[in-house]
Every structure is written in C-alpha cells, then in structure tokens.
C-alpha cells in the first residue's frame, strides 16, 4: 500500500501477553499520577487524556510539562501531601522514583485504590498494538524519537511514549491511530521487563543504576531478560560494537540484526563525513548498498542511533527513501545537544548527558563541530550514588573540554549514606588529576555570574546533567555580556 508517497509493506505479528493488567477499562475512569511531571509519566498522562480518562496528579513543582497537561484538562497540585487524593480515584500510577513513604501513595494505599507502575501501563498498552521497545544505557530517547519520526512520515501514525520532548513529532507522547506503539524502555527497577514488544532495540549496555543492580553482571542479565521478551516472530536490533550486548542476546527468541560503524554487521554505516554541521554516511545492508544518509544532529553515536532506527523501520516495511528523508530533517530531542541561543558570538548548548560515556561522546561531538573554539562544560552530577560508583569514569570523560565547572550534585533516590559519601569537590579533584582544568562552584546562580564575566566571543558553553542545570543554559543567554 502507498502512504505519503512511500511504499509501506505492512506486516502482522502475534505477541505473547506478559502483563495481566487490563488497559481498556481505564478509559473514562479517574487516573491519578504521582509524579505526573516526569517525562515518561507526563507522556502517558497525555495519552490517557486523549483516550477520555479523567486525569489528576501531583508533582513537587510545576513545569512546562505539567502546564501543558493542565491546558488539555489535567488537574495537578504541587502539595503531594495526600490531600488531593479522593476515594473516587479508580487507579493510581507511580513511577520507579516514588517511594512507599510518599504521602500521596500512603493515602492511596489507605483508601484501597489500585496502584500500578508506569511501566505496567505501558506494557498493557503495548499488547493492544505492535510494540517497538528501545532499550540501552544510552541513546534510547534519540533512537525512539527517530523511529517515531520515520513512522509518522511514512503515514503509519504511531503511538509513542518518549523520554524527552521532541519538537519534530509534537512532544513526548501521542496517541496515534496506527498499529505501532513506540516506547522508550528503561532498565531501572527492571521496568522494561513489563513490556511485550514485537520489535526490540538494545543500543548498548554499561554500568549504571548501580544503586539497584549492584554490578554489571546483573545489568546484563536484566537486558537478557528483556531480549527474551521480544516476540519470536519479531526482531531484536542490537549494537554489534558492544560486548555486553553480545552476552545478553544469547537469550533472544527472535531474529537478531546487528548494526555498526565500519565493521561487518547486518547494518553498517561508513564514510562518515562532517561539514556544515551535517554528517553524511553510506548505509550498507548485509554488504549491499542501501542508501546514503545525512544527519544534522552531531556525533558518531547518533549515526549508530540512525542505523538502529533504519533497521527497525525497514523491518516494519518503510522504504529507504522515506527513512532517508525523515532522518535528514530530524532535529533531535530537547536537551540532546540543544542549541539554546547565541549572544555576542558565545554559543550556549544544553545536553542531558549524565553518565561518563554520554559526557565523553557529547564533548567529542562538540570538539568535532568546533575544533578551534574554547569549550566550557558545566556539569551538574545526577545522584550521589551514581557519582560515587562511576567516579573514575566521570573524571576521564571531560578530556575534550577546555574548562569544566562542577555544580553541586543533584540528589535523586539517594540514601543518607550516599549523600555523605560523595560530593562534587571530590569529583573535581579527580578530574583535575586527569589533566583537565576544572573547578567546583556549588550553586548554578553563581556559575552564571562567573561565566557572564569569563566567557569570551567564540566560546562554546555546554551545560550537562539530568537535573535542573538546563535552567542555567537559558539564564546564561540573557546574562552574557
């Protein structure tokens, strides 16, 4: 059949249900989200509002995401003290970040309201469509967004839930009329094991979330369990460069396709060329030329993400021309090397990188784009426990920056022990020992003041972290002299 000028060979698959939560009865009922301002939670809330649910919720602070939900009918409070919870609530949805001592959750338990995890709702929704679940330590959001953008351009009108706001496709969540459901699959707390995908992706596997998994062996085992969930009639797409992925996919029951740069694989990208902010590369499928592609988002890691998206969408029946055109115009997700503004020839960029590998590849991409310019990196570490576990890796990840400023650590799910066992000054000292010009300025407001004075025309300033460091990027654009 022909959709939007592209040939799409639609396929049908059978899936084995793994979730026992029935999604359909939610429609028309009252659903309460604890932590509704979270990126995934807000996407799911948006979809349920579109479905006709009465959506209410709470979060500790207002944001553009909560404001957007309120505009389409959600009622949201920032008290999160249990006072907004009513017996008329049919279901409460929580993320993995919500602890049992949360007042809203305690009230829901007391009232006997059914409580489910965000990932369980995703899993039940995925059973109704053909699920495409994108997992991995890094690259999930961009790869999910690329797949969604390609499918939308092909006319497939997919449903998607993505861990980032993507202007190209209208945000982080959307209820489509088509048969495909694209979801970012988070490994924390084993959340992705609630999904039932027809197609799966594993971008990479590294040490992270060690407050939950303890060691890399347990992380690989969890990804192995995820691989085993992909339907036997479906496809698992994986990064061939990653040795941990090679172990995990031994448990796969489906067909597996690999992707790589400059080495044999099912999908290979080569002759990566940079220029004018665009990366051009040739794609080969099983050693046969597939097409030539271009990306306007930087970094070799994004070429890998594009190869994964190409493999998935080709399996789903989208033709090469549609894939090529969709990726050529893809602008990326917010907070993924997002250019916030430029003032007096000083460019300010914001990025979500909060793991050593993400920092390294993002700064490397920046250096490739701006080889002769001074690069400042302002990093706000995310979690005391992550900083402690990955301390040496963090210290080695800033080599492509000329100057690094560390803000205080942004706490999330940290225990009192975590908070007393690590601080940004220790990270700063380790980074200096690795040969990087680094210093520690605790507060973001003070960092803004320093940079407003010290940054010179031609400088690049990149703010990084999964906390609220993005506010600094926007503040800087107005303060730079």
Give the confidence band of 274 by pLDDT, cuts at 50, 70, 90: low
Q: Could you give the CA distance from residue 427 to residue 91 in angstroms, rounded to a whole number?
A: 43
Q: Could you give the CA distance from residue 373 to residue 290 in angstroms, rounded to a whole number?
A: 36
Domain boundary among 329, 352, 384: 329
Contact of 40 with 165, CB cutoff 8 Å: no
Mean per-residue pLDDT, 53-64:
93
Angle at CA 383, nearest 5°, toward 245 and 166?
65
Q: Does position 16 have pLDDT exceeding 60, yes or no?
A: no
Residues 321, 458 within the same domain: no
Q: Does position 97 have pLDDT exceeding 90, yes or no?
A: no
Q: What is the predicted pLDDT for the residue at 9?
A: 35
Angle at CA 249, nearest 5°, toward 248 and 255?
165
% of residues, the chain, pLDDT over 70: 94
Q: Could you give the CA distance from residue 461 to residue 481 in angstroms, rounded to a whole number?
A: 14
Residue linked to tokens 């999330």: 412
Helix (H) or strand (E) holding 68: helix 64-71
Q: Which of 117, 127, 140, 347 is catalytic?
A: 140
Which tens digits make up the pLDDT trace of 232-251? 999 999 999 999 999 999 99
**Range of the structural domain that residue 186 is part of:** 129-329
Q: What is the DSSP letter of 456?
A: -
Residues 78, 209 within the same domain: no
Domain boundary among 116, 137, 167: 116
Q: Does a structural domain hold residue 13? A: no
> What are 235's strand-pairing partners?
199, 255
Q: Does a structural domain hold residue 121? A: no
Q: Does a structural domain hold residue 16? A: no
Token pair recorded at residue 163 = 């861990």
Give the chain's mean pLDDT.
92
Residues 461, 351 within the same domain: yes
Domain boundary among 329, 356, 389: 329
Q: What is the predicted pLDDT for the residue at 175?
A: 94
Residues 168, 248 within the same domain: yes
Q: Could you give the CA distance from residue 398 to residue 401 in angstroms, rounded to a whole number?
A: 6
Q: Does a structural domain hold residue 11? A: no
Residues 141, 289 within the same domain: yes
Residues 166, 288 within the same domain: yes
Give the confidence band of 21 by pLDDT, cuts at 50, 70, 90: low
Q: Does a structural domain hold residue 405? A: yes
Residues 266, 346 within the same domain: no
Q: Does a structural domain hold residue 82? A: yes
Q: Is 184 a catalytic residue?
A: yes
Angle at CA 177, nearest 5°, toward 202 and 14?
55
Residues 179, 52 within the same domain: no
Residues 241, 356 within the same domain: no
Q: Does a structural domain hold residue 358? A: yes
Q: How many domains does the chain have?
A: 3
Residues 435, 457 within the same domain: yes
Q: What is the predicted pLDDT for the residue at 262?
A: 85
Q: How far apart are the first and last CA of the chain?
A: 56
Residue 120 main-chain phi, psi, to 5 deg: -70, -40
Q: Where does 230-376 have alpha helices with state H?
A: 243-248, 300-315, 320-329, 356-369
Q: Could you give the CA distance from residue 266 to residue 285 in angstroms, rounded to a whole number?
A: 6
Q: Is 141 a catalytic residue?
A: yes
Q: Does a structural domain hold residue 9? A: no
Token pair recorded at residue 246 = 């090679």
CATH number of 248's domain: 3.40.1190.10
CATH number of 461's domain: 3.90.190.20
Which tens digits make up the pLDDT trace of 381-400? 999 999 999 999 999 999 99
Q: Which of 165, 184, 187, 257 is catalytic?
A: 184
Q: Is 86 a catalytic residue?
A: no
Q: Which of 66, 107, 137, 141 is catalytic?
A: 141
Which tens digits make up the pLDDT trace of 140-179? 999 999 999 999 999 999 999 999 999 999 999 999 999 9
Q: What is the predicted pLDDT for the residue at 13?
A: 34
Q: What is the predicted pLDDT for the residue at 96?
A: 83
Q: With a threshold of 0.85, does the pTM exceed it?
A: yes
Q: Could you give the CA distance from residue 410 to residue 244 in angstroms, rounded to a whole number?
A: 29
Is the pLDDT higher at 219 or at 8?
Answer: 219
Residues 298, 426 within the same domain: no
Residues 165, 86 within the same domain: no
Q: What is the DSSP letter of 400?
A: T
Q: Does position 79 have pLDDT exceeding 80, yes or no?
A: yes
Distance of CA 301 to the CA centre of its chain: 14
């Amino acid at each position: 059949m022909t959709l939007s000028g592209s040939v799409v060979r639609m396929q049908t698959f059978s899936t084995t249900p793994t979730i026992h939560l029935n999604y359909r009865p939610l429609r028309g009922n009252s659903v309460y989200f604890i932590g509704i301002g979270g990126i995934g939670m807000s996407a799911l809330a948006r979809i349920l509002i579109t479905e006709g649910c009465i959506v209410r919720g709470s979060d500790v602070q207002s944001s553009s995401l909560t404001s957007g939900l309120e505009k389409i009918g959600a009622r949201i409070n920032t008290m999160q003290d249990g006072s907004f919870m009513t017996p008329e609530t049919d279901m409460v949805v929580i993320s993995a970040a919500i602890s049992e001592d949360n007042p809203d959750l305690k009230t829901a338990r007391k009232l006997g309201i059914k409580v489910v995890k965000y990932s369980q709702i995703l899993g039940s929704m995925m059973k109704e469509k053909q699920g495409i679940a994108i997992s991995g330590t890094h690259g999930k959001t961009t790869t999910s967004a690329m797949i969604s953008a390609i499918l939308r351009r092909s006319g497939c009108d997919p449903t998607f839930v993505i861990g980032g706001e993507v202007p190209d496709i209208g945000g982080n969540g959307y209820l489509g009329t088509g048969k495909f459901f694209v979801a970012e699959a988070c490994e924390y707390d084993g959340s992705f094991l609630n999904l039932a995908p027809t197609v799966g992706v594993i971008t990479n596997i590294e040490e992270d979330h060690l407050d939950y998994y303890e060691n890399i062996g347990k992380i690989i085992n969890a990804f192995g369990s995820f691989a085993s969930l992909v339907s036997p009639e479906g496809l698992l797409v994986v990064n061939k460069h990653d040795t941990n992925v090679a172990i995990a996919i031994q448990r796969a029951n489906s067909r597996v396709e690999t992707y790589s740069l400059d080495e044999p694989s099912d999908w290979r990208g080569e002759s990566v060329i940079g220029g004018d902010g665009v990366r051009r590369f040739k794609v080969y499928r099983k050693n046969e030329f597939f097409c030539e592609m271009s990306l306007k988002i930087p970094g070799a890691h994004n070429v890998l993400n594009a190869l994964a998206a190409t493999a998935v969408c080709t399996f789903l029946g989208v033709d090469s021309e549609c894939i090529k055109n969709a990726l050529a115009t893809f602008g990326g997700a917010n907070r993924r090397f997002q250019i916030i503004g430029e003032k007096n020839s000083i460019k300010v960029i914001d990025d979500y990188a909060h793991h050593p590998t993400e920092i390294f590849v993002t700064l490397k991409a920046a250096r490739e784009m701006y080889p002769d310019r001074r690069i400042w990196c302002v990093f706000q570490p995310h979690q005391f426990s992550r900083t402690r576990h990955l301390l040496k890796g963090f210290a080695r990840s800033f080599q492509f920056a000329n100057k690094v400023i560390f803000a205080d650590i942004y706490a999330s799910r940290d225990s009192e022990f975590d908070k007393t066992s690590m601080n940004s000054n220790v990270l700063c000292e380790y980074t200096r020992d690795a040969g990087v010009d680094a210093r520690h300025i605790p507060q973001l407001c003070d960092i803004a003041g320093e940079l407003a004075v010290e940054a010179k025309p031609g400088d690049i300033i990149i703010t990084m972290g999964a906390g609220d460091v993005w506010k600094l990027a926007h503040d800087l654009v107005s303060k730079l002299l």
